[in-house]
Structure 1
Amino acid sequence: MKARNILLIIFIVFLVMFLLLGWGIKALFKGAAQGEITEGANVALISINGPIVVGDHESAFSSDYITSTEIIKFIEDAEKNDNIKAVIFEINSPGGSAVASDEIGQAIKDLKETTNKTTVSWIREIGASGAYWVASNTDYIVANRMSMTGSIGVIASYLEFSGLLDKYNITYERLVAGKYKDMGSPFKELSEGEKNVFIEELNQIHEYFIEEVANNRKLTKEQVKEFADGRVFLGEKAKTLGLIDEIGGKKEALTYIETKLNITPEIVEYKEPVSFLQLLTKLMSEQGFSIGKGLGTALTETKEKGIVT
């Protein structure tokens, strides 16, 4: 009886693995087909969905953020493709690294200067902070009336454990050459001098941000400074302030391209090929999430993240 149960368990495990393998292969071929450059395509669609960071997607668990390296690669691919006449950036991002945002913004500038291709940002739910920095570099910005746009500000924070160390009688022995070398260490409080150094750097990046938006959106620095306090704005207010050009979505973005270039837009989506390991990991994590969600729903009410109606 025990041997039969063991065989049954082994059979079930292999069955689950076989099903996951089948779903993974199906998704792999589906993903590859969606990424093909279709004949006649003249508009590249590049998605910026998630926090923006510097680096490469090397991990199977790295699909929750966007790297400047991959976005710049897509921009360069569109630049080299003579069939591509315009690029739409589909944005749904709260921002991220100032460096990564600036790198993408500069790549968009280079694209416009070297090829004169039209660039459009399509902001969906959120295009804030670094994501708006990116969007401001394009020729035209379309945003949903309920989207959150702007957040022209800079933030830095850190955890500080010095009180916890005192509680357990643990001493932080400070050995540095250069008085600011351990600035920001979680094991000691910031001195006033260290805070001033951080604030000075944040203010400098904030000034860069304001200058970029002013230059890109044809506004004065004084105009931008009036609302460059970290606030986000819904679509209509963002349009009034000059942060966006039109209320709308994908349709309006395509209409702008069609009218400006006198072409019939045909979209091709530029996206990173997904490895089989990434697909398999994603499938397994989604299955685990679904089980957990089912258990959680039985215990408590669930609500969608963000603004809901």
Structure 2
Amino acid sequence: MDTTMDDQMPQQKRKWPYIAFVLLFLWLFALMLSSFISLFAGIESDSLGGNVAIIPVKGVITGDPGSGLFDEGASSEEIVKLIEKADRNPGIRAIIVEINSPGGSPVASDEIAQALKKTNKTTVAWIREIGTSGGYWVASATDHVVANRMSVTGSIGVIASYLDFSGFIGRYNVSYERLVAGKYKDIGTPFKEMTPEERVLFQNVLDDLRDNFIDEVAANRGMDRKDVERLATGLFYLGSEAKGLGLVDELGGRGEAIAYIEQKEGIKAQVVKYKPTPSFVDILQGAFSEQSFHVGQGIGDALVEKGKTS
């Protein structure tokens, strides 16, 4: 046996922890550097100029502010802040809400819609691929709605659902022991079948929400309430059909939205995009969650490959 090779093997093994530490340090440094760049690159400044603000409303509309850089969804809290920021900026003459949303929370949708109605600026909704339900609620609150002819919009209505596990747990001899202080305290629980009375109560709430939705669209669009009610079946429409129904003012995209503003305001549009500026902590949280997945995946792949070759 070669004693020289035997002496070298322990030395090589001792080097691996140091190499791993250096690689980990370099990875963390690169992550921190990219986070700082993302933080400062994402800052929107009023001093950068622009007289037309574009505010994205993308994904499911919720009231949650979001917890990280890579969260998907449209937070009403963040969007309302951006609308108010654009409204306070004397250089901004108009606001375009870029909508690509299937809707979401009625409360969150209404919060965005009310913020748009309160602004003193010209407002335009630009529906890209989808602007349905709460997404259309937001669009209807603007002065002018532009949609692609093949986009999907409308879907005026309200939906709620729940899972009923009562039959499933009964099959496995599991019982639901009901302990409540208040007749309807466990209404909607998935562990018991909903009673006819409870179903009526739920339906009444949904009907009230639908009525509010209809009232808002009718008022926002200047339409007769009966006409909106006939459309409020939950059905969605292509942009071309929605225009014929009075839900959309113009077919097109960003260019048409800007052209409308230029004609109405008598300006040459200079667009600036308003978007939430994540905190440094938000960026780190998002980056770590995203990168940790890939790192974990890489380790797993390496172990699998090692198992194949051993």
User: Do the aligned partners of residues 155 and 62 (structure 1) sit closer, same or farther apart at CA in structure 2, a change above 3 Å counting?
Assistant: farther
Deviations 1:100-145 (A, max 9, x none): 111211121221xxxx421100111111100100110100011112
Decide whether the 8 Å contact of 2:165 with 2:191 is kept in 1.
yes
Match of 1:21 in 2: 32
Decide whether the 8 Å contact of 1:45 with 1:267 is kept in 2.
yes
Pick aligned residue for 2:16 from 5, 17, 38: 5
Quick check: 1:42 aligned with 2:51? yes
User: Do the aligned partners of residues 15 and 38 (structure 1) sit closer, same or farther apart at CA in structure 2, a change above 3 Å counting?
Assistant: same
Runs of 4+ in 1 over 6 A off after TM superposition: 288-294
SS in 2 for 1:226: helix
CA distance in 2, matches of 1:156, 1:287: 36
Decide whether the 8 Å contact of 1:153 with 1:206 is kept in 2.
yes
Match of 2:86 in 1: 78
What is the root-mean-square deviation in Å for CA atoms of aligned residues?
2.2
CA distance in 1, matches of 2:83, 2:258: 18
CA distance in 2, matches of 1:223, 1:293: 54
CA distance in 1, matches of 2:24, 2:70: 27
User: Do the aligned partners of residues 102 and 20 (structure 1) sit closer, same or farther apart at CA in structure 2, a change above 3 Å counting?
Assistant: same
CA distance in 2, matches of 1:66, 1:94: 11
Greater helix proportion: 2
Stretch deviating more after TM superposition (76-85 or 148-157): 76-85
What does 1:140-159 correspond to in 2, within 5 Å? 140-159=144-163
User: Do the aligned partners of residues 292 and 266 (structure 1) sit closer, same or farther apart at CA in structure 2, a change above 3 Å counting?
Assistant: farther
User: Do the aligned partners of residues 85 and 21 (structure 1) sit closer, same or farther apart at CA in structure 2, a change above 3 Å counting?
Assistant: same
Stretch deviating more after TM superposition (9-18 or 148-157): 9-18
Match of 2:77 in 1: 69
Q: TM-score, normalised by structure 2?
A: 0.85
CA distance in 1, matches of 2:159, 2:141: 21
SS in 2 for 1:91: strand
Stretch deviating more after TM superposition (261-270 or 246-255): 261-270
Deviations 1:11-40 (A, max 9, x none): 2222222222222222222212xx122454
Match of 2:62 in 1: 53
Deviations 1:33-78 (A, max 9, x none): xx12245422222111111112433x22672122222222122222
CA distance in 2, matches of 1:23, 1:72: 28
User: Do the aligned partners of residues 124 and 220 (structure 1) sit closer, same or farther apart at CA in structure 2, a change above 3 Å counting?
Assistant: same
- Letter paired with 1:24: S
SS in 1 for 2:39: helix
Match of 1:167 in 2: 171
Percent identity, please.
Answer: 51
Match of 1:243 in 2: 247
CA distance in 2, matches of 1:21, 1:80: 34
Aligned length: 287
